[in-house]
Amino acid sequence: MPAIHKHPEFIVRSAEPFNGGPPLPLLREHVVTPSELFFVRNHGNVPDVDVASYRLRVEGVVDRELQLSLAELRNEFPSVTLPATLQCAGIRRTELMAVEPIPGELPWEAEAISHGVWRGVPLHAVLAAAGVDSTAKHVAFSGLDVVQRRGETFGFGGSIPLAKALSPELMLAYELNGAPLPPTHGFPLRVLAPGYVGARSVKWLATITLQAEPSANYFQQRAYKLFPPDVHANTVDWAEGEMLGELDVNAVICQPTADATLPRGTIDVQGYAIAGGPQGIERVEVSSDGGTTWTEARLSAPLQPWSWRFWSAQLALSAGCHQLVVRACAMDGATQPPVAGPIWNFKGYMNNAWHRITIVVS
Ligand code: MTE
């Protein structure tokens, strides 16, 4: 298994498969997350891919099946560079777990997100080379990793609708932050699907299949599906549920951290916000009294449509215990739910309730 190079303060949520992310104050230090701090979500092993023999296969309802080496993808197709945020659907699951337990899932806090500068081939260019048949409605991806779950062994995969696959932001990325993809982030090639849950950005990409239906893979048909709060593991009908795609507006306090004790005076509150799609963040507000009164936060300069936005606010706080809360509003008017209870779901996805932390001012 290739070596994984991460920052000494990287929080490892599970060692095998390797999963983790940076402490929130460190995450908030860099608008472009350095690779050694970039969060990792792996369901299986990190494949050791021999780039000389590596071939991406493009198949399904296409005019021509393709087998492309990395050199062909780099040299014979256009390249694009795009700053974009990647966020896992399981982000902030611990807050859902506090509502009702979610057994068997990783206890992510708000660190399952990072922002990188990606370089690769526009997916539409590869699809055009293959020739998309009119019956194609979905583009399915599969990875080279192997997932073991409850005695079964299978691959990782997922799909996106053809319309999303043809949009300009969709990329087959071979670089992150100016260097070849690190092994744990998908070397030599991964999908980058900005604005969609991270699960659709399939790493160690082996095949692209054009098809009429969404992917039949476990991670499309069972995992990464959203069910209403009354559905539980023992009552679920897997044919139901919403296959996750587009992200929602979300905002998080990175600094101070939960349960911090701070000296009296003006405190600097900092965090990140995402709009979900390319529409951008309209407003971020912070409260120090549990959401009764609000102060508008200062937003950092906008980056690119698919990038997160950093925010900060100064709050003058008296001695005592304070509940800090943040909420964001996107340019399309989308807002966040105040509490997590009504959006609880048994797999623990898509928590975008107002982010609340308690601090003590001494
Ligand atoms: N691709 C493969 N092949 N295997 C995986 O386990 N995890 C997905 C996605 N692509 C995964 C994958 C999930 S759930 C997320 S959130 C992102 O990769 C995380 O990407 P990162 O590890 O580069 O941050």
- Which mean pLDDT values do the consecutive 10-residue runs of the chain (362 residues) have? 92 96 98 98 97 98 98 98 98 98 97 98 98 98 94 96 98 98 98 98 98 98 97 97 98 98 95 97 97 98 95 96 98 98 98 98 94
Predicted pLDDT of residue 130: 98
Predicted pLDDT of residue 302: 87
202 alpha carbon to ligand 1 midpoint, in Å? 6
Q: How many angstroms separate the CA atoms of 148 and 169, rounded? A: 32
Pull the structure tokens for residue 310: 């950093």
Closest protein CA for atom 24 of ligand 1: 40
Closest protein CA for atom 22 of ligand 1: 40
Predicted pLDDT of residue 3: 87
Q: Are strands 265-274 and 250-255 parallel, antiparallel or unpaired?
A: antiparallel
Closest protein CA for atom 13 of ligand 1: 199
Predicted pLDDT of residue 324: 98
Which residue type occupies 73?
A: L
Q: How many CB atoms within 10 Å of residue 107?
A: 13
Predicted pLDDT of residue 131: 98
87 alpha carbon to ligand 1 midpoint, in Å? 10
Predicted pLDDT of residue 299: 98
199 alpha carbon to ligand 1 midpoint, in Å? 5
Q: Which of 42, 205, 347 to mutate to test the pocket of ligand 1 (most atoms within 8 A of CB)?
A: 42
Predicted pLDDT of residue 1: 80
118 alpha carbon to ligand 1 midpoint, in Å? 15
DSSP string, 75-142: HSS--EEEEEEEE-TTTTHHHHHHHS--TTS----TTSEEEEEEEEEEHHHHHHHH-B-TT--EEEEE
Predicted pLDDT of residue 221: 97
Q: How many angstroms separate the CA atoms of 75 and 86, rounded? A: 26
C-alpha to C-alpha distances, 178 to 50, 116, 117, 118, 119, nearest whole angstrom:
21, 10, 7, 8, 8
> Does any ligand 1 atom lie closer than 6 A to the CB of residue 288?
no
Atom of ligand 1 nearest to the CA of 197: 16
Predicted pLDDT of residue 262: 96
> Does any ligand 1 atom lie closer than 6 A to the CB of residue 205?
no
Predicted pLDDT of residue 329: 98
> Does any ligand 1 atom lie closer than 6 A to the CB of residue 200?
no
Predicted pLDDT of residue 150: 84
16 CB-near residues (< 8 Å, 6+ apart) = none
> Does any ligand 1 atom lie closer than 6 A to the CB of residue 198?
yes
Predicted pLDDT of residue 212: 98
User: How many helices, marked H, and strands, marked E, lie in the chain?
Assistant: 6, 24
Q: How many CB atoms within 10 Å of residue 48?
A: 11
Pull the structure tokens for residue 73: 């993808």
Closest protein CA for atom 11 of ligand 1: 42
